Amino acid sequence: MTQRSGPHLAVALDGAGWHPAAWREPDARPGELFTAKYWADLVLEAEKGLLDFVTIEDSLAFTPSPFDGPDERTDQVRGRLDAVLIAARVAPLTSGIGLVPTAVVTHTEPFHLSKVIATLDFVSGGRAGVRVQVAGRQDAAKHFGRREFPEFTPEDARNGTGLVGELFDEAQDYVEVLRRLWDSWEDDAEIRDVATGRFVDREKLHYIDFEGRWFKVKGPSITPRPPQGQPLVTALAHTSVPFRFAAASADIVFLTPQSIDDIPVILDEVRGERESALHTFGDLVVFLDETAAAAADRKARLDERAGAEFTSDAAVFTGTPTDLADQLLAWHSAGLSGFRLRPGALPHDLTAITRGLVPELRSRGAFRTEYEAGTLRGLLGLNRPANRYVA
């Protein structure tokens, strides 16, 4: 993994923004949340800022809602489109930015996900990744009806006890199957020789023969090896169990330090589980305006509309793009390789990132002036991995 002088930068897109009242802002577009144009406009704005990638949130349950199941509120956005399909729709409209949809790996099958993410890598010309997410909620399990989950508390989630530990063990096997299937075709397996009538060299397709507690997958994939060889696998991690999962399975881990003092402690734990390089991105929810007071006032107005103060698993930043640049560069110096910013309201906070924060970082020599690579791996300084099945 190559180093760079400034931090990598991504944005996390979710509905009208991360604040539950964001859809009621004057510049919000609630009537377009389920249209392709809405998502294309957001991703194209991120690309204008030359961001490394966007992530697109997804879930198998209604969100936001209480931890123990759906509520009866009607004043928040409910419903969402499929993140992978959104990414596939906007991919041909973009040329440089990485596309990293969220995919829930509980209740779904790795063979199917390997195929759709490989397809996204082909459609985007090598700019695909996936954010793997587990789902332990009972209401999500009931949507599928194949498994019954015991009740568990937020404390179980934080501590990685009981079901949570099993879900991350399952996810680790899931990602291993993904990676083996992506390698199950050698790069030159397709011959396409019209004269001889040979389209594929069958000797260069490989059975993966994976057998574990949760999956038994023979392979090979029905989709050729993706342009990047291995699309990027990313994961959000807050505590020891997901730290271990990310260290074992991911290329990028999204972390949630609350202050600069948290960063060395978190990095020591994550990297202690990993022998090779791992990109570490800090997550921040951001509310940005021309003055810090205006940003704070806007968040307070949103909180009043929502009926409660907004809090998050990630630190919440209110201030100016210049203030945010100061914090990002300080946290980058503390060891984080990049940041995934969660806009509090869309499009306001996204454009504040692309048209305010990015120029500020660029003026300090801390951000790119053009895309320096054509693939997401290239943007992140990651080599294209060798195929494990090639002798």
Query: For every residue of 150-163, which 3-state class applies, written as one string?
Result: CCCCHHHHHHCCCH
Write the DSSP string, 129-187: EEEEE----HHHHHHH-S-------HHHHHHT-THHHHHHHHHHHHHHHHHHHHTSB-T
Mean pLDDT computed over 223-238: 97
Distance from C-alpha of 19 to C-alpha of 12, rounded to nearest angstrom: 13
What confidence tier does 156 reach under pLDDT thresholds 50, 70, 90?
A: low
Q: Which residue has the tokens 């440089």?
A: 96
Give per-residue pLDDT as tens, 379-391.
999 999 999 999 7
Q: Which CATH superfamily does the domain covering 8-159+231-368 fall into?
A: Luciferase-like domain (3.20.20.30)
Which is it for the CA torsion 15, 19, 21, 23, positive or negative?
A: negative
Give per-residue pLDDT as tens, 47-60.
999 999 999 999 98
Residue among 8, 3, 2 at smallest CA distance from 361: 8
What confidence tier does 145 reach under pLDDT thresholds 50, 70, 90?
A: confident
pLDDT surpasses 90 at 351: yes
pLDDT surpasses 60 at 2: no
pLDDT surpasses 70 at 107: yes
Mean pLDDT computed over 144-149: 80
> Which residues have C-beta within 8 Å of that of residue 334, sequence separation ≥ 6?
260, 263, 264
pLDDT surpasses 90 at 276: no
Mean pLDDT computed over 239-255: 95
Contact 47, 94 (CB under 8 A): yes
Q: Of 58-72, 129-143, 144-158, which has the strongest mean pLDDT?
A: 129-143
Distance from C-alpha of 34 to C-alpha of 244, rounded to nearest angstrom: 36
Specify the pLDDT at position 146.
Answer: 81
Distance from C-alpha of 79 to C-alpha of 63, rounded to nearest angstrom: 8
Distance from C-alpha of 111 to C-alpha of 109, rounded to nearest angstrom: 6
Token pair of 305, please? 């509309």
**Beta strand ranges found along 320-363 (DSSP E):** 338-343
